Copies of this chain bind each other. A is one copy, B any other.
Amino acid sequence: MVQTPNKQLVLLKQLPEGYPVVGEHIDVRESTIDLEAPLQEGQALIKVHVISIDPFLRSSMRGNSRDEHIPPVDVDQPMYGYTLSTVIKSNIDKFQQDDIVVGITNLEEYTTISSSDPFFSVTRVRNDIKNSVLPLSYYVGVLGMPGHTAYAGLFEVGKPKKGETLFVSAAAGAVGQIVGQLGKILGLRVLGSAGSDEKIAYLKEIGFDAVFNYKTTSNISEKLTELAPKGIDVYFDNVGGETLEAVLENANRFARIVACGMISTYYSEKDIGVRNLMKIVPKHITLEGFAVFDYMHLEDQFTNEVTQWLKEEKMKYRESTTNGIDGAAQALVDAMHGKNNGKQIVHVSSPSF
C-alpha cells in the first residue's frame, strides 16, 4: 500500500460568521491517498488540474449563510467546487481512463467521484478540451458554470431587446464580464460597476459603454441617472443591497432585474434590507432569481456560441490564477474580498495531453 501525498482545501471546525480567515475557518491540509486501492462500484479516481473559486463556496461553509440551496460541507472535511480533472481509473460506465471531466468534486489533488454524489449529474466528459486552442481554465469559467450562468441569466431571465440599456454589478467578476460582453454582442448599451479603478479600466477595454467604481461613488443612484439618461431596462444583479435600491430608482417601466447573487448580504451579520421595493409596483418591474441548474438544456447552445465568440475574439475573459493548491485557501478569501482581477482560478497540476 503506497500512500501518495494529497493536499486538500478543508473547512475547519470554527465556522465563519462573516469573511473566512485562512487558518481559522479554512486551510490547505496535507493528507495522503492510496492510488492503487481498489475502487468500489460507481466510483472513479481523478487527478485535479484546475479548481474554480466561486462565490457559492462561501455558502457551503454555512455559518450565517442565507444561500441555503448549497449543501453544507462537513467540518474537518474537504470543501467541494468546480474542477477540471483527468480520470485515472473508473468503475463508472460514463468515465474512461484518461477522460477529461468537468464538474463538481472535492477540492483536493486527487479525489474520488461517486455516482451517488449530489452533483454527479453535473459532471461531464469533455475530451474535446484535449484539442482546444483555448486555455484549460476557460472550461470552469467562461465556458463553464459562470459563463452558462451569464448566458442563461441575461438571455432567458433578462430578455433584453437590442437598443435597451443593461447594467451589470460586480461587472469585472467571473460572471459580470461575460454578461456585459454578451450585452454588447446583442446591441445593448452596457453599464457596469466594480470595486477598483483597475477593474474599471478593464471594463472599458472590453467594451462597456460606461462604468463606475462603486467604492468611490458617493451616490450610486445619481451616478446611474447620469450614466443611463434613458433609464435601465435590464439589471444583472450580483450584489443586492444599496446598488439594487439605486437601480429600482432608475429602472424603466417593465424593467427586468436578473437576481444572480446578492454578495453585499453574504458577509454581513444582518441584511439591512432593500428599502424601496415598492418601486416595482408602479413601474411594473420584474425581479427574478435563478440558478444555472434550471437551464441545463441550454448547455450545448451556450457552449457552441460562446466558444465561437471567444475564437473570433468577440469576447475576452480575464482570469486571476494561483499556482498550486497550497494557495487555494488564500485565493478563496481574497476573491471574497474582491481582491482578484477577473475569474479566480487555482492551477493544481498540468494534464499529460
Contact = CB atoms under 8 A, between A and B. Distances in A.
Interface in A66-113: 66-70
A159 interface: no
Interface string A264-282: 0100001111111111111
How many chain A residues sit at the interface, stated as a range, is 35 or more
Contacts of A289: 279-286
Interface stretch (A26-34, A222-230, A255-263, A305-313): A255-263
A240 interface: yes
B278 A275 contact: no
Interface of A: 66-70, 240, 244, 259-262, 265, 270-291, 294
A281 B290 contact: yes
Nearest to A67: B282
Contacts of A271: 275-278
A69 B265 contact: no
Give the interface SS of chain A, mostly helix, strand, loop or mixed: loop
A163 B128 CA distance: 46
A273 B281 CA distance: 15
A278 B66 contact: yes
Given A284-B289, A286-B288, A288-B284, A67 B272 contact: no
A272 B66 CA distance: 19
Contacts of A283: 69, 289
A175 to B, nearest CB: 12
Nearest to A288: B286
Contact of A282 (B68, B265, B281, B287): B68
Contact of A286 (B68, B244, B272, B286): B286
24 contacts: A66-B278, A66-B279, A69-B282, A70-B282, A240-B277, A240-B278, A262-B277, A265-B278, A271-B277, A271-B278, A273-B273, A273-B275, A277-B287, A280-B287, A281-B289, A281-B290, A282-B291, A284-B288, A284-B294, A285-B288, A286-B287, A286-B288, A286-B289, A287-B287
B69 A278 contact: no
A231 to B, nearest CB: 14
Q: Of residues A69, A278, A280, A287, which shows the largest number of chain B Cβ atoms within 10 Å of its Cβ? A: A278
A12 B80 CA distance: 64
Contacts of A285: 288-289
A216 to B, nearest CB: 25
A279 B289 CA distance: 8
Contacts of A244: 277
Contacts of A260: 281
